[in-house]
Amino acid sequence: RSGALGAEALVVIRAVVPPPDGRTSLLWKIDALRMKLNGIPAFHRSVEVITGTLAECGFSVRHTALSGGNPESVWIIAARGDA
């Protein structure tokens, strides 16, 4: 709920997302195995789903960018929709 933030506050999210071409790196595969062995479920969502969910919750997405050019990691910056 965006109303819980101050008017000038930003939400900064770094998310691991499935690469657009569907080809995951070796690091992705190793981490997936580690999570599976430890019984940790993974729920990866695309940038579009994450930004859409933020919009549904009343946030305005200001910027999205790859983290260091890595297609498996993205930064999302959002603010209250009424700000």
Joined tokens for residue 19? 């690469």
> Residue 71 phi/psi, 5° resolution?
-70, -5
Q: Positive or negative, the Cα torsion across 60, 66, 10, 47?
A: positive
Average pLDDT, the chain: 89
pLDDT (0 to 100) of residue 1: 57
**Intra-chain end-to-end CA distance of the chain, in Å:** 14
Walk along the chain (83 residues) and give the pLDDT tens digit of each residue. 556 778 888 999 999 898 888 888 898 899 889 999 999 998 889 999 999 999 999 999 999 999 988 889 999 999 988 76
